[in-house]
Structure 1
Amino acid sequence: MQQPVSKLFISLSRIMLVLMLCASPVLGQAGNVATAAQAANTVHIEVNGQEQIWKNQPLIFQGSTFVPLRDVVQSLNGTLKWDAPTKTATIKVGRDTLIHQASTSSIQVNHVQLSTGVKSRTVNGTMMIPVRPLANALKADIKVQRTASGQMSVNVKTDQVSVLNAELASVDTYLREAEFPGMALIAKNGEVLLRQGYGLADEHTMNRPDQKTRIASLSKSFTAASILHLAEEGLLDVQDPISKYISGIPEGDKITLHMLLSQTSGIPSAFGRGEGTSLEETVEEIRHKTLKFEPGSAYLYSNSGYVLLAYVIEQVSGSSYADYVQQTILKPLGMKNSGEASRQVHTISGFVSENNAWVPAPYYVSQSGSGTIYSTVDDMLKWDRALYTDQILSQDTIEQMYKPYSSKNYGYAWILKENDQNRTVFHNGSGGGFATAFSRNLSDDITIILLGNHAGMDMTTLMSEVEAETAKALHLQ
């Protein structure tokens, strides 16, 4: 089984350090480098299954493992150009461009700066670069094994998770030029044509398309589906008033579950987002809100309305919102990398703009029902495919989700977009440094998932551009 990248680098560093220390218990700086280079001679190196004979051997220095940059680039069939006056290397591998200046602790990957935490070194005229951040910049995986003879084997696999069909190269170019940060997936009839990561997952890690991330208000589709699942089981009716399940809501005898689902209840959107606030406490806060209009008379997007729906799910099912979604939707669909977020679940970081720079955002606090789900692009594709079947809900019920119930064409957690014969449902989300969008062209079966991790992006416009570029690339216009 392939080990996580971080653990593998740690294992490699420890192995090489042990070999170094066995050779000489007390070493100065020069001895460290020399002995480490000798220890590295016992390492068998493979890249994508092909044995590599590097002119310059890896070394370990002050606890960090370094590899010869030029040898690595050649093994990956990339190119390296060296600018002597600035001591800067420009590396091209596939569609990525990496720039690194000697004796610095960062690598520019396309348009972003990746912090390595360790400065590169020049040994006998050869630039040696920290292996972990270099592999990270290239989205590579490493596996370390010990052979029967005691020799260490290092197997490097280049990016195994990204996909780019030649037809969609223009879409990838568009996302790169737009400097989209996050993960993107595009599929036709369920077949993945583009799966890519862009920008930073955190200050030291590049986004890979298999990483977990917050999906913000895309969570609402799981809330709506859970309510409809309970309706199919005969445990509730969408025309039931909210007062049947929750007391004290303003005009609760007039506000139906249908109105909460379709954003026509009149309940204001905002609620307190203090970390650790229970669902019951948020519901109590909503009890004291003043309605914006007569229930059912207009449209107003309301996170609070979906919080009430989550509470209804708990009251009717007897399970927590997280458990109900997990057992009813995520587990049956094999969405193993999805669930309700907590600090214990590692996801990529959200970023916010501060003093004209992007900095990690504080932990994203939401409330059940409105924006608490984390997922991956692959898991979200599983959700997309399930909505073409009767596995979770019947097709008749699913059609209820797509119907426009107001002038804004909002259904149940989906917005309907119709153009001639083209029928598309869409939703977007934002919060805590994340910006997301999910588009499902029901006519041509084109799925587009954009899970971004920078605040403030206009995801509706971005999605429209990606939809248009995808249609053009696939000759659907």
Structure 2
Amino acid sequence: MNQSLRRAILLPIVISSMLLGTLAGAPSQANAKSVTTATKTTVAPDMLLDGRQIIWTSSRPFIYQGTTYVPLREAAELLGAKVSWNKDKRATELQLHGNTIVHRPQTRDFIVNGYTRIQAPAPSLSIDSTTMVPLRTLVEALGAEISSSANPVRQLQLTTDHSTITAEAAAQADDYLIRHQFSGIALIADHGEVLLRKGYGLSGPESLNSPDDPSRIASLTKSFTAAAIMKLVESGKLHLDDTLDTYIPGFPQGNEITLHMLLSHTSGLVSNFPRTEGLSLQQTMEAIKNKPLAFEPGTDFKYSNSGYMLLGYIIEQASGMSYADYIHQQFTGPLQMTHTGVADEHTPTIKGYVSKSDQWTLAGKYYTQPGSGGLYSTVDDLLKWDRALNTTDILSQDSLDKMLTPYSHKNYGYGWMMDQTGDRPVVFHNGSGTGYATGLSREQGDGLTIILLGNHGGVDTLTIMRDIRQLLTP
């Protein structure tokens, strides 16, 4: 037998025999020294769970080859999971917050809901019929947190998952998202009360999406751009019938294209603009200028990212501020949306994925210009945005009414689309970017709100939101 493999198999048995006498408390200094010397293994530091010291009743955690191991069943139960053995799969199953996490002994894999795989730095070890697993991977799989302190001695501090919310009223929605292998973050609220707040799938190779994480929001940005234009209209700095050539002289047919047309996608401008690293806003506008209109301004509907990018530029011209600063001054600051802003390549958000050869792989860089799809946010901040748009705290009722009036056969207003669920008017928008698929659906005047910040590009969030609304609407 290979000597390194023999060592990996035999050493845990040695570890077990040394630690059996100290399961309920800290080992003696002599014991700790003998473990370190004989097996390159040390007893793990004391651990606190939600501020209370853990007294282990099965196997004492230890550090082996740089990895801290804990007894799977006991640690998982301490972190709130229900634990059972699946004899057909020959694996341990953990149930928590609607998730099923499967781990087969002596492997590195933890499979969440059948479609998300995270891998430990080393395989689990079977010691005297106890499965010992790498602590950090177990913590990650169960949505908990871990930190280390050394005051006065080194301790590991574990915190159970207090971020995830899975109310019974949203169980069908949670099950739907799992069955459809949704990846990202979801929030569902009814009249502001959160029923579901949960992360699904991966954000990077070794971490799961957490409901606290920020994400690119893609074209959900357009609701902020439309609101900013209306705020400037309220202050008299803009008028909806202002023409494009007022702000961008020399734009072809710019004297016929109004702000209203840009907001409602009836300008005839092409859909997309160049998204190349290092391309300035001025260069982007020049590229848009050189593309012919799809139709005469005001005669039809064509969704146009280019139009909203130009609106972002006009916001800067009219306000005398950067797009980011104006959005913060008027909206995200007053609403205490502290995790929302204009993203750049250094903004720490969940990672986006694209499908290649039927595999999800990390996406490349996401380039855009402010106005069309440049913001990042969290589900909590977007719920604040939803709540504010049901009041006159940030915009007048006249502005809100204009934003939610359909101006074409596509039922598009300003930054929002309109629909109907039974007798309930619904406003919604979706977004798509390199590796991201987002959506926000809200009942006009309050009611059920659905927020999806997905990190699998190309996913149909409109259908997902529609299906969830039907599941949860009486």
AA paired with 1:138? L
How big is each residue's C-alpha offset from its partner over 1:279-320, in whole Å with a ceiling of 9 and x where there is no partner?
A: 221111111110010000000000000011011111111211
**Contact 2:270 2:306 (8 Å CA) reproduced:** yes
AA paired with 1:236? L
**Contact 1:73 1:93 (8 Å CA) reproduced:** no
Q: Find the counterpart in structure 2 of residue 31 from structure 1.
A: 39
SS state at 1:201 partner: coil
For residue 99 of structure 1, the aligned residue among 97, 102, 108 is: 102
AA paired with 1:466? I
Segment drifting more, 59-68 vs 269-278: 59-68
SS state at 2:439 partner: strand
**Contact 2:126 2:132 (8 Å CA) reproduced:** yes
Segment drifting more, 164-173 vs 393-402: 164-173
Q: Find the counterpart in structure 2 of residue 319 from structure 1.
A: 321
Query: What are the residue-to-residue correspondences of 1:280-319 with 2, within 5 Å?
Result: 280-319=282-321
How big is each residue's C-alpha offset from its partner over 1:51-107, in whole Å with a ceiling of 9 and x where there is no partner?
A: 432321222223222222122123245344446898633333342211123333321
Shift of 1:391: 2.3
- After superposition, the Cα gap between the structure-2 partners of 1:82 and 1:188, relative to the gap in structure 1 and judged at 3 Å, is closer
Partners of 1:420 and 1:78 in 2: CA distance: 39
Alignment gaps of 5+ in structure 2: 1-27
**Contact 1:350 1:434 (8 Å CA) reproduced:** yes
Partners of 1:74 and 1:395 in 2: CA distance: 51
- How many percent identity over aligned positions? 44
Partners of 2:448 and 2:116 in 1: CA distance: 33
How big is each residue's C-alpha offset from its partner over 1:352-398, in whole Å with a ceiling of 9 and x where there is no partner?
A: 11121111111221221111111000000010111122222112111
**Contact 2:266 2:300 (8 Å CA) reproduced:** yes
For residue 131 of structure 2, the aligned residue among 116, 127, 131 is: 127
Partners of 1:286 and 1:277 in 2: CA distance: 13
AA paired with 1:122? L
SS state at 1:437 partner: strand
How big is each residue's C-alpha offset from its partner over 1:436-461, in whole Å with a ceiling of 9 and x where there is no partner?
A: 11111115522111111111211211
- After superposition, the Cα gap between the structure-2 partners of 1:312 and 1:25, relative to the gap in structure 1 and judged at 3 Å, is farther
Partners of 1:312 and 1:98 in 2: CA distance: 50
How big is each residue's C-alpha offset from its partner over 1:26-69, in whole Å with a ceiling of 9 and x where there is no partner?
A: 967x5222xx12xx3x5144357474323212222232222221
Shift of 1:227: 0.9
Q: Find the counterpart in structure 1 of residue 72 from structure 2.
A: 69
Query: What are the residue-to-residue correspondences of 1:254-293 with 2, within 5 Å?
Result: 254-293=256-295
AA paired with 2:56? I
Partners of 1:375 and 1:210 in 2: CA distance: 10
**Contact 2:49 2:160 (8 Å CA) reproduced:** no
Shift of 1:252: 0.2
- After superposition, the Cα gap between the structure-2 partners of 1:378 and 1:458, relative to the gap in structure 1 and judged at 3 Å, is same
Q: Does 1:46 align with 2:11?
A: no
**Contact 2:204 2:350 (8 Å CA) reproduced:** yes
**Contact 2:216 2:343 (8 Å CA) reproduced:** yes
Shift of 1:129: 1.6
**Contact 1:59 1:65 (8 Å CA) reproduced:** yes
Query: What are the residue-to-residue correspondences of 1:312-461 with 2, within 5 Å?
Result: 312-418=314-420, 421-443=423-445, 445-461=447-463
Shift of 1:192: 1.1
Q: Find the counterpart in structure 2 of residue 206 from structure 1.
A: 208
TM-score by length of 2: 0.88
Partners of 2:127 and 2:210 in 1: CA distance: 34
Segment drifting more, 371-380 vs 169-178: 169-178
**Contact 1:350 1:360 (8 Å CA) reproduced:** yes
Shift of 1:177: 1.4
TM-score by length of 1: 0.87
